[in-house]
Each structure stands twice: as structure tokens, then as C-alpha cells.
């Protein structure tokens, strides 16, 4: 089973988004913004467009709430309200060209001032490429000062951008709730947390489901509406990955208890003392026609020796038996046994009885 790796780019913090918006407001191309901030130009473009959209939605929502509040407070008749609205619209329409001209002059002044500061920084470096980290830090400090002054009244107008008839100031574009809104943009997750819980429960149901392929696992969990990569990503989020299957011999509960008692009684023995007086024998059966290859199971790291994560090892077909013996500072012979006859088994039993009695 092939493993897939999903790489995720670095997260863009709100302060760096504010720097991108500020540089874009100054008229710098996104290729230059990429050199300064280290953020790809396509991503920087998306950040700027999202800031404009969020700021526009915020202003529209604020205007609507203000209008509703004013309408409730006035409580005037519909005829008077209509005439007042017509008069207000006429006044705004007559003042619109003059206000746009003033905003354009202010934007040009701010852009010229930032351009002069940029040229000064490049001249200090001997007309070489300006250090991107220094420039970015300076811009971020400026953005932070703007954020601190956002709540304070000011008599100087801010730099503004004209987008679809709505004039947005720089302070509006770099506001915290605009750059990092609570409601995240983008496509929602394909699987809910409840569906992920059901997927994990399906994987851990039994030994059979732990060995299923992704396509079979999707069908078993009822997740045919998502892709295999989505299911794999959900499993990785819950720390469930495909590990090599471990094997152990089939033991009854009584044999497990006897082995545990034996090991606990000797857990503090020293290798060169108590264990030096013991010999260790081991045998290996080379099975003919046995299972070949690596099997994978779905589990987390703590479930390595869980019963439904471990393959049962049982002698099935014909095999060749090998036997060896070792002890402290001694290595015994290694034998490969042929099939034992009845007479050989009886002679071996008698010899073993004599050795044990000695």
C-alpha cells in the first residue's frame, strides 16, 4: 500500500497580510511584493482581493445597521423620509466629483511619500538590492502603528482605494477583523467530525477492517461521496497510519499467565551472574508454501500488539526444522533435522531422562 504525503504551505499571519495590503496600496507589483515578503504573488493577490471584499462587506453591513437604527430613531412619516433621502442623495451626488478628486490627490501624495522612503532605503545599500527582511520589518512596524492609531480620531485623511464605487481606506483594509475574519473563506471540509469518528470506529472494528484497502474502507464506512485521499488525510489527522503487521504465536490465556509469572520472577537477574548459568535453545521452522510478503494494518502507534492488529502465526504445511543452543561465553552446535522416526524419538526420550536425573 503506497503512502501519500500532504504538504501544507506556511501560514500567513495577519500582520504579514497587512504588509501585503499596504504594499499593494502603494502600487507595487505583486512580483516585487513576493521579493519583499516571501509570499507568492498569486497568494499575495488573493490576500489583497480578500481584504477588499471583507472590508466592503463590513462597510455595507455597518451602513445597513446605521440606516436601520436611524430609521427606527426618527420614526418620521414615509413621505418626509422619502423627501429627506432624495435631498441627501442629491447633495452626495453633487459633492461626489470633488471628493473623488481630493481622495485621488491624497493617494498620490501618500504613494509619492512611500516611494521616496523606498528610494532612500535603496540608496543606503549602495543601489543594491534592498534587504527584504529589513523592508518587511519596517512596513510591519508602520502597519502596527496604523492599527494602534485606528481607534484614535485624526484630522488627516487616510490613503484610500476606489473599488467598484466604494472608497476604502487603508485602515479599513488592514483591520484585524478584515485580515483575519472569524468566518474562514474557502471550501468547507468534506468530512464532518462525526463522519471522521465513524471512520475511525469502522477501521478499529476487527482484524478484517484493519487490513482493508482505502477503496474498500470507504465503501464499508459509507463514505463513497469523498475520494480516497480525503479518507487517508482524515485517518492521518487521527494518528492512524498503515504499519507493517506484527506476528506472534497463538497462546492460550493460561500459557500467557505462566510466561508472565516466569518473566516477572527473573526481571532483575544479571546477564553475567544468574543468566550465565542458563542455556538458551531456539528452533526455527522453514515452512514450505507459507505466506510471503508484507501485510499492512491500520492502527496508531499504541496499538502495535493489540490482538486485532497482530497476525496469527500457526504451523500449516510441511517445514524444515532447525535447532541451536547458546549460553554465556559458549555457542552450541546447530542442527538441521530430518524427519524423526519412532525409534529415534524413544531413544531421545530415554537420553533426556538420564540427563535430567543426573
User: What's the distance, Cα to Cα, between the start and end of the chain in Å?
Assistant: 56
Cα 291 to chain centroid distance, Å, stands at 37
pLDDT tens digits for the chain (358 residues)?
Answer: 444 444 455 567 777 888 888 888 888 888 888 888 888 888 888 888 888 888 888 887 777 666 666 555 545 444 454 444 454 444 444 445 565 556 555 555 555 565 566 566 556 555 444 455 555 665 555 555 544 444 444 334 344 554 444 577 777 777 766 666 665 556 778 888 889 999 999 988 888 888 888 888 888 888 888 888 899 999 998 888 888 877 777 788 999 899 999 999 999 999 888 898 888 888 877 777 665 566 777 777 777 777 777 766 555 666 777 888 888 888 888 777 777 788 988 998 899 888 888 7
Task: Please state the domain extents for the chain.
Answer: 14-179, 258-357
pTM tops 0.75, yes or no: no
Q: What gap in Å lies between CA 288 and CA 319, rounded to an integer? A: 5
- CB-based contact 16:10 (threshold 8 Å): no
- Angstrom CA distances, 83 to 3, 79, 91, stand at 70, 6, 12
Give residue 201's pLDDT. Answer: 92
What pLDDT, on the 0 to 100 scale, is given for residue 4? 47
Q: What is the pLDDT of residue 16?
A: 80
What's the pLDDT score for residue 198? 92
Summarised one tens digit per residue, pLDDT across range 138-156 is 555 555 554 444 444 433 4
Q: Measured between alpha carbons, how far is residue 157 from residues 99, 169, 324 in Å?
A: 12, 9, 91
Query: How high is the pLDDT of residue 339?
Result: 75
DSSP state of 10: P
Q: What is the pLDDT of residues 272-302, one digit of tens each?
A: 888 988 888 888 777 776 655 667 777 777 7
Q: Which of the 8 DSSP states describes residue 123?
A: H
Amino acid at each position: 500500500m503506497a503512502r501519500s504525503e500532504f504538504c501544507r504551505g506556511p501560514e500567513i499571519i495577519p500582520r504579514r497580510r497587512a504588509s501585503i495590503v499596504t504594499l499593494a496600496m502603494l502600487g507595487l507589483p505583486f512580483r516585487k511584493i513576493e521579493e519583499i515578503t516571501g509570499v507568492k504573488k498569486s497568494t499575495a493577490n488573493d490576500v489583497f482581493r480578500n481584504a477588499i471584499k471583507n472590508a466592503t462587506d463590513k462597510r455595507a453591513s455597518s451602513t445597513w445597521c446605521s440606516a436601520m437604527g436611524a430609521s427606527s430613531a426618527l420614526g418620521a412619516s414615509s413621505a418626509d423620509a422619502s423627501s429627506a433621502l432624495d435631498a441627501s442623495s442629491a447633495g452626495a451626488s453633487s459633492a461626489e466629483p470633488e471628493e473623488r478628486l481630493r481622495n485621488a490627490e491624497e493617494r498620490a501624495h501618500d504613494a509619492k511619500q512611500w516611494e521616496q522612503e523606498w528610494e532612500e532605503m535603496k540608496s543606503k545599500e549602495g543601489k543594491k538590492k534592498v534587504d527584504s527582511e529589513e523592508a518587511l520589518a519596517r512596513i510591519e512596524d508602520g502597519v502596527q502603528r496604523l492599527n494602534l492609531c485606528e481607534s484614535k480620531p485624526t484630522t488627516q485623511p487616510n490613503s484610500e482605494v476606489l473599488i467598484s464605487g466604494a472608497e476604502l481606506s487603508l485602515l479599513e483594509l488592514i483591520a484585524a477583523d478584515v485580515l483575519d475574519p472569524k468566518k474562514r473563506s474557502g471550501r468547507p471540509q468534506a468530512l464532518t467530525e462525526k463522519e471522521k469518528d465513524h471512520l475511525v470506529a469502522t477501521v478499529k472494528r476487527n482484524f478484517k477492517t484493519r487490513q482493508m484497502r482505502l477503496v474498500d474502507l470507504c465503501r464499508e464506512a459509507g463514505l463513497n461521496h469523498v475520494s480516497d485521499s480525503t479518507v487517508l488525510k482524515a485517518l492521518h489527522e487521527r494518528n492512524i497510519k498503515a504499519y507493517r503487521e506484527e506476528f506472534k504465536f497463538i497462546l492460550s490465556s493460561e500459557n500467557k499467565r505462566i510466561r508472565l509469572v516466569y518473566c516477572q520472577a527473573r526481571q532483575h537477574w544479571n546477564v553475567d551472574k544468574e543468566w550465565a548459568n542458563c542455556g538458551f535453545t531456539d528452533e526455527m521452522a522453514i515452512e514450505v508454501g507459507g505466506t510471503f510478503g508484507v501485510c499492512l494494518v491500520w492502527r496508531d502507534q499504541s496499538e502495535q500488539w493489540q490482538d486485532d492488529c497482530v497476525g496469527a502465526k500457526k504451523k500449516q504445511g510441511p517445514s524444515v526444522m532447525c535447532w541451536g543452543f547458546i549460553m554465556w561465553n559458549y555457542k552450541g552446535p546447530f542442527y538441521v533435522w530430518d524427519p524423526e522416526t519412532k525409534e529415534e524419538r524413544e531413544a531421545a526420550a530415554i537420553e533426556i531422562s538420564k540427563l535430567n536425573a543426573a
